[in-house]
Amino acid sequence: MAEIPRLVETRELKMTQLKEVMEDGNPVIFFRYDDAIDALMMLFIEPTTETVVHYLDDFVGLLYRPETKEVVGIQVENFERKFIHAHATIENVWRLSDCETEMKDFGDIVLCFERIKPVVVKEVTRITKSLLHDQVGNEFVLA
């Protein structure tokens, strides 16, 4: 979000945990979509940890710990209204109607979610990596 001044520059943020998630596919501990505010949040730490958001563009923000500046999650705003429409790879898996399992009960929803979640995480982190590359260059990708 261009109108909100940044507390730190993107280059000042530590990306160790974010790189691990991107490279090794480490699990996201907390994954939540909030339809009231249309935001997707993925955290690599417990959700009770204090974080600050650092926007890379109008949708994607890095969540970091203020005391260490370590990136510990990703937040995507306007997720269903705008973001997924701009990224077909996420839009294609986001709809439960496209899930291979017939939805008979809550267990089927959980199983479908567990199949879809890694794909959404992979695509959101891929988009985030591209935004980071645009802002800080190869030092993020290679470091």
Q: Which residue has the higher pLDDT, 130 or 102?
A: 130
Tokens, residue 28: 């996201």
Residue 64 lies in a domain: yes
Residue 22 lies in a domain: yes
- Give the span between the Cα atoms of 92 and 85, in whole angstroms: 9
The answer on pLDDT for 119 being more than 70 is yes
For the chain, what is the domain count? 1
pLDDT at 84: 93
Tokens, residue 99: 């899930």
Tens of pLDDT, residue by residue over 42-94, are 999 999 999 999 999 999 999 999 999 999 999 999 999 999 999 888 887 78
Residue 96 lies in a domain: yes
Residue 68 lies in a domain: yes
The answer on pLDDT for 143 being more than 50 is no
Reported as half-sphere exposure (CB side, CA atoms, 13 A), residue 66 has a value of: 7
Q: Domain containing 32: what range?
A: 10-136
The answer on pLDDT for 138 being more than 90 is no
Say if pTM beats, i.e. exceeds, 0.95. no
Residue 88 lies in a domain: yes
Q: Which residue has the higher pLDDT, 20 or 139?
A: 20
Residue 143 lies in a domain: no
Residue 5 lies in a domain: no
R_g over Cα of the chain? 15
Containing 31, the helix (H) or strand (E) segment is strand 30-34
- Give the span between the Cα atoms of 15 and 138, in whole angstroms: 13
pLDDT at 1: 45
Average predicted confidence (pLDDT) for the chain: 86
Q: Which residue has the higher pLDDT, 16 or 138?
A: 16
Residue 28 lies in a domain: yes
